[in-house]
């Protein structure tokens, strides 16, 4: 897909959202089914069922997905798709590359070993290696716009209000 094809694909959507801003607000959903026998849950990804469980650092055996890994995978996936879309929109050919997301967790927090240990990631790093004929200014623009338009990145940078209920 080139920039003209992307513009043609997105133009009617952009027009619709300008004319009717409420139509741009979409509720995405995810749900998990609690496992009746173990410490796990099943996630319907829309393509397959995935089973999440304890990370080995919290007692898991490593056979199930870790939610922390899944968060980083979502970041890497969103950033990769966004980088591709931005590159296409600005006419920069990216022949290939990699996106890497990694983060630090202190498992003392989630295990309740130390009250002063945080629960959750304390640092996340997102790195791109791209194969493109681009100068430093083009790469800086690509990074800036990817950060600007990546949904998962922006959600992590400016956390939304979260409402929790238990019935």
Residue 1 — very low, low, confident or very high, per pLDDT cuts 50/70/90? confident
CB 150 within 8 A of CB 79: yes
Domains of the chain: 66-157 (3.30.300.20)
Tell how many helices (H) and how many strands (E) occur in the chain: 5, 5
165 against 35, higher pLDDT: 165
Q: What is the pLDDT of residues 33-79, one digit of tens each?
A: 997 778 999 998 888 889 999 999 999 999 999 999 999 999 999 99
Which of 87, 73, 63 lies closest to 146, judged by CA? 87
Q: What are phi and psi of 62, to 5 degrees?
A: 85, 0
160 pLDDT exceeds 80?
Answer: yes
Residue range 14-38: mean pLDDT, rounded: 90
**Which range is least confidently modeled, 44-58, 86-100, 120-134?**
44-58
6, 44, 113, 117, 132 from 86: Cα distances, Å: 10, 29, 44, 38, 13
Residues 6+ apart with CB under 8 A from 66: 52, 53, 54, 55, 60
């Amino acid at each position: 897909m080139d920039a003209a094809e992307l513009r043609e694909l997105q133009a009617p959507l952009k027009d619709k959202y300008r004319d009717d801003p409420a139509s741009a607000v979409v509720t995405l959903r995810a749900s998990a089914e609690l496992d009746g026998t173990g410490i796990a849950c099943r996630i319907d990804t829309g393509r397959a069922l995935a089973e999440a469980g304890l990370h080995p650092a919290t007692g898991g055996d490593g056979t199930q997905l870790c939610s922390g890994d899944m968060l980083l995978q979502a970041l890497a996936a969103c950033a990769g798709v966004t980088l591709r879309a931005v590159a296409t929109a600005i006419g920069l050919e990216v022949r290939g590359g990699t996106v890497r997301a990694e983060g630090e967790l202190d498992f003392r927090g989630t295990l309740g070993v130390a009250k002063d240990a945080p629960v959750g990631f304390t640092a996340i790093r997102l790195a791109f290696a791209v194969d493109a004929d681009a100068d430093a200014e083009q790469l800086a623009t690509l990074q800036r716009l990817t950060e600007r338009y990546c949904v998962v990145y922006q959600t992590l940078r400016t956390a939304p209000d979260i409402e929790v209920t238990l019935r």
